Amino acid sequence: MTETSTSPTASVRSPAGSPVLGGLGLFTVLLGAALPLIDFFIVNVALPTIGRDLAASEAVLELVVAGYGVAYAVLLVLGGRLGDLFGRRRLFIGGMVAFGITSLACGLAPTAWTLVAARIAQGAASAAMLPQVLATIQSATAGPRRARAMGLYGATAGLSMVAGQILGGVLVAADIAGTGWRSVFLVNVPVVLLGLVLAARTVPETRSQRPEPVDVPGTFLLAVSLITLLAPLTEGRAAGWPLWTWVSLAAFPFAAAAFYAVERGADRKGRTPLVPPTLFALTSLRRGLVMIVPFSIGFSGFMFVIAVALQRGAELGPVQAGLALAPMAVTFFCVSLAGPRLVTRFGTRVVTVGGMIQGVGVALIALAAWRSWPDLGLVELLPGAAVAGAGQALQLPVLFRIILSEIEPARAGVGSGVMITTQQSALALGVATLGTLFLSLSPGMGMGDALVTTLVVQLGGIVLTTLLSVRLPRVIG
């Protein structure tokens, strides 16, 4: 039987004694899910101000983004395993405390390199907190309540990624008490304090019924695999592609092969590896993960490129650059609320329709950039951003539900960690690939044409995700 906390206020229980996640508890874990995703994107519009204030080079500014993303991605699966082992509520609260402390350290950083170090620590804290959200939902909800909770999680995730960029622009421009860019990190502290009070009272304790020790070799090799891939791709262009970047990329396939061999060997010996290969026997998980990679690459790449283009090319301030994406956030939120009902009625084909709608939206943005550059702002982007946001809302929340639909509660932490690691790695790759393409093309063809070209490349990724969606299971289990 699942172990639960003995605190009367920490856990809500069903008559049968199993932990139940109530409405306020769901709000609390969704708040915890929003914080790491907001912080991945919130710095995009703050980077120019950070660079001026801390006299940071472009390569160091890239590390402010990449350090967080790589640490986050590398440790996510381990965070899920630790939650299964020691208790998800405990790891959620511990991760939130660490996130608050590291956010304060980011906000008070006196130098650029101090900020980089604090951001890496902040990514590690996020990796401890976020996997517990989905694992708690999987373990403490069932039936329609789980479907609704998963829909709200997907809506929160997508909205957080857009809202982070908008919030970053507003906070930088507001210059609260003279804090400037520091407020994008300091704002986390009161939110964390609220989350901790709520979590102590409303989030039930759950853990795996058959907890397994941490797979040390697997954890090490997964970390090496992700670092050898993500570090050179995210830092290579700004650093001028030195020798270490090529050596690292060359080492990636060997590290990945070693990781797979170790995990497969552990599975055959009856131990529970960090990422059980048998997990990928689940059709819903396997096909959902394959689709979420190009989707997330396109999503994060677009957010980074549009932030740079609007501020450096169209010369908009941080507020205007952030608010230009407000229509995307509004339509994403509204359409995602209707997602569960649409899935119940039409099945997972809503994902295919969402891909088509998103493609139309990105094409409209590309057309606006081609016709209006450099006079590109809220009015010009509104039709395309609104349509693209609606299309994204029909994909991301549903994909999360599909990927986790067949995972048993005992493996909820591992499954959540695998899914979020895949998504986070793809988000980092999006900034690295589409961002590098845009910044490489800009000097030769100008930012306007570089933006249009990058959006056309993203359209190719959207076509791929739409085609892949046809192979998804028609019904979510």
Q: What is the DSSP string of 212-246?
A: ----HHHHHHHHHHHHHHHHHHHHHHHHT--HHHH
Reported as a pLDDT band with limits 50, 70 and 90, residue 12 is: very low
216 pLDDT above the threshold of 80: yes
Which residues are registered as beta bridge partners of 12?
Answer: 20
**Residue 269: count of CB within 10 angstroms of its CB:** 8
pLDDT in tens, 384-396: 999 999 999 899 8
The pLDDT score that the predictor gives to residue 107 is 93
- Give the pLDDT score at 13: 46
Mean pLDDT of all residues belonging to the chain: 85
Q: Which is higher by pLDDT, 19 or 245?
A: 245
pLDDT at 459: 93
E strand or H helix that includes residue 398: helix 396-404
Query: What's the CA gap between 84 and 435, in Å, rounded?
Result: 36
Least reliable range by pLDDT among 150-154, 209-213, 256-260: 209-213
Cβ atoms within 10 Å, residue 69: 24
pLDDT in the model for residue 230 = 84
CA distance 314 to 308: 9
Rounded Cα–Cα distance for residues 418 and 438 (Å): 30
Kindly report, residue by residue over 91-132, the tens digit of the pLDDT: 999 999 999 999 999 999 999 999 999 999 999 999 999 889
- When pLDDT is averaged across residues 295-322 and rounded to a whole number, the result is 85
Beta-sheet pairing, 19-20 with 12-13: antiparallel
> In the predicted model, what is the mean pLDDT of residues 259-274?
83
Q: Which band of pLDDT confidence, cut at 50, 70 and 90, is reported for residue 477?
A: low
Predicted pLDDT of residue 320: 82
Percent of the chain residues past pLDDT 90, beyond the cut: 31
**What's the average model confidence in pLDDT over 448-462?**
93
Quick one: pLDDT at residue 366?
Answer: 94
Taking the C-alpha atoms of residue 195 and residue 204, their distance in angstroms, rounded to an integer, is 14
Which residues, 6+ apart, have CB-to-CB distance to 104 below 8 Å? 185, 186, 189
How high is the pLDDT of residue 245? 92
pLDDT band per the 50, 70, 90 thresholds, residue 15: very low
Least confident stretch, 180-189, 211-220, 279-288: 211-220
Q: Is the pLDDT of residue 17 over 70?
A: no
Spell out the residues 6+ positions from residue 327 whose beta carbon is closer than 8 angstroms to its own.
378, 381, 382, 385, 386, 389
pLDDT(10) > 80:
no
Compute the average pLDDT of residues 68-93: 86
Q: What does the pLDDT read at residue 18? A: 66
Q: For 362-414, how does the pLDDT look when each residue is reduced to its tens digit (9 = 90+)?
A: 999 999 999 989 888 888 999 999 999 999 989 988 888 888 888 776 676 77
Residue 312 reports pLDDT greater than 60: yes
Taking only Cα atoms into account, the Rg of the chain, rounded to an integer number of angstroms, comes to 21
Please state the rounded mean pLDDT for residues 240-246: 90
pLDDT value of residue 211: 65
- Mean pLDDT lowest for which of 30-44, 268-282, 358-372, 430-444? 268-282
Using a 10 angstrom Cβ sphere, with 0-12 exposed, 13-18 middle and 19 or more buried, the burial of residue 379 is exposed
Predicted confidence at residue 453, as pLDDT, reads 94
Confidence at residue 196, expressed as pLDDT on a 0 to 100 scale: 95
Cβ atoms 342, 151 nearer than 8 A:
no
- Asked if the model's pLDDT at residue 433 lies above 50, the reply is yes
